[in-house]
Chain A
Amino acid sequence: MEELVETMSRDLPREVADGVTWMSSCLPFHLQDRVIHGHTSTYLAQGTESSILIDTGNPSSWNIISKTLDGLLGDKPLSYVFPTHPELPHTGNLPRLVEKYPDVKIVGDIRDYHLFYPQIVPNLHARVPGDRVDLGGGYEFVIVEAMIRDLPNTQWGFVPKSGVLFTADGFCYMHRPELDDEDPVHLPGECGLTTDELSAPIAVENAAFFTGSALYWARFANDADQVYDRVGKLMDDLGVKIVAPTHGNVITNIPEVAPIIRAGHKHAYRY
């Protein structure tokens, strides 16, 4: 039992691909022998005309998210929000986003949202996989079927121009926290790094930790190979260059990281 406090890494926000900015707050998990972090990330994709926020972050991070959006958008309002699925880390700031940007369009699989957020019903617009949102200047956002998910009303998204796939609870894993400056013994923190910048490969158990708890079904379903073969095909078809999960570092070297995520998923089976 402990109080939970989230912090935003000092290295974020950062542009991780053409038109895509990564913001994230970290939640510490106190294990027996060490502390690990879980990301709750929010991404802003921008074209020349419009912008779309992918997931909203936790309500407890609203102040920093709101301020960061001010900096990134200048005097333009946010045009769209794409919540990947209705859980707090992904949708918790929807009411405040509507208050701040009254004309914002919330797009995606919007089943259940009228029960959870009746105050934002006029802003809800149902979208299905294959639907495209034009952001201007050749930038668009495409809705994609979620192949790894918990809640049934989950969707993934894709920005074709920069090849970024947003995978919600898929491709997630824990990471090492940032350090106090007085503690030079440990490796530097990983909160704001992309996977090719990490000093060591992701540990399989850090991927399994996430999968086993957030994707509980992985403990009973022995289908990791089928699932990830399908995901691999989807990524080839789309031309994915970067994977942007909500709870993990941005994955820039997919061929090295994908097998670790798959191994973590298998490890979660009956663990």
Chain B
Amino acid sequence: MEGLLGGRIYRLGGDIELDERVSWCPPGIRRTQAVNCYLIKGPSGSVLVDTGVRLHQADIIEQLDRLLSPGEPLSIVLTRTEMECCLNIPAIEERFTVGSVWYTGGITVPRSKAKSKRIAVDPGSSMRVKVMDGVVVELVSPLLRLLPTLWVFDPESGGLLTSDAFTHGGSAVPEAREGLRKFRWFSGADTRPIARNIRDIFRNRDVRAVGPSYGTPFVGTNVCLDQAGELARAIEEMGIQ
């Protein structure tokens, strides 16, 4: 568990073995990889962005126990409704009182009492939402996606939580293309608008840290800008034009 940005955003989760049993593993790679979810601490409650893999469930509950004060209001925002984002909701709801679960896309997520907040943000645009008092985030709907995806930008800290993008951090020589295994469809597509969208997202915001769902985060304004440029280039190279 790590403070990412001055005590405002914490990284939760654990490591997995990245090998041939993992669908997003580049060929020939064998190492550990972090799988993350993030807690945004507000003045009067916290927002958990994604809930991690089931393999790390006990660790994540324990990490939340340490970060949340008793009775602290908690809401959940999902970047996607995929398995590494939503499967720990029931266990978290059992331990903490979850006010609402925000998500996008056409499928339901498992939850019990928490209010369901289904939101649609057009790909290529963004929407500001007040998840709770003191936590207003911008939900960015990127063109870089396989399934319905939201990136979560916290203007107060400059943290951009990028879900299944920017996942190449943590390898010996981080290469942007390593994180694009999931997006094999790029090789049959005109990817220029997708790359342009990445550049725009970073140009229009003061991004001070990038927190992906897998891999280690990138911290520092210049580091983030460099990584965005490299990812955009890798996306262009992969596509047809």
Residues in A lying within 8 Å of B, measured CB to CB: 1-4, 6, 27, 29, 38, 58-60, 86-89, 91-92, 109, 111-112, 114-119, 150-153, 213-214, 216-217, 220-223
A-B interface, 4 closest residue pairs, ranked by CB to CB distance from nearest: A217-B185, A220-B189, A116-B83, A221-B189
Bound form: Cα–Cα A10–B103 in Å: 30
In the complex, the answer to whether A118 meets B55 with C-beta atoms within 8 Å is yes
Closest chain B CB from A108 CB (angstroms): 12
In the complex, the answer to whether B53 meets A115 with C-beta atoms within 8 Å is yes
Known: A88-B83, A88-B109. A117 touches B54 (CB 8 A): yes
Count CB-based A-B contacts (< 8 Å): 103
The one of B86, B105, B189 that contacts A217, using a Cβ cutoff of 8 Å: B189
Pick 30 A–B contacts, CB within 8 A, sort by A: A4-B118, A27-B107, A38-B106, A58-B107, A86-B82, A86-B83, A87-B81, A87-B83, A92-B110, A109-B23, A112-B22, A112-B83, A114-B55, A115-B84, A116-B84, A118-B54, A119-B54, A150-B146, A150-B147, A152-B23, A152-B182, A152-B184, A213-B105, A213-B106, A213-B148, A214-B147, A217-B189, A220-B193, A221-B189, A222-B190
State whether the Cβ of B219 lies closer than 8 Å to any Cβ in chain A: no
State whether the Cβ of B21 lies closer than 8 Å to any Cβ in chain A: yes
Could you give, for residues 98-109 of chain B, a 1 whenever the CB lies within 8 Å of some chain A CB and a 0 otherwise?
A: 000000011111
Q: Which residues of A contact B83 (CB under 8 A)?
A: 86-88, 91, 112, 115-116
Interface residue tally for chain B (C-beta within 8 Å): 41
In the complex, the answer to whether B106 meets A29 with C-beta atoms within 8 Å is yes
Q: Which residues of A contact B84 (CB under 8 A)?
A: 115-116
Q: Which residues of A contact B116 (CB under 8 A)?
A: 1, 3-4
Bound form: Cα–Cα A112–B23 in Å: 6
Query: Interface of chain A, helix or strand or loop or mixed?
Result: loop
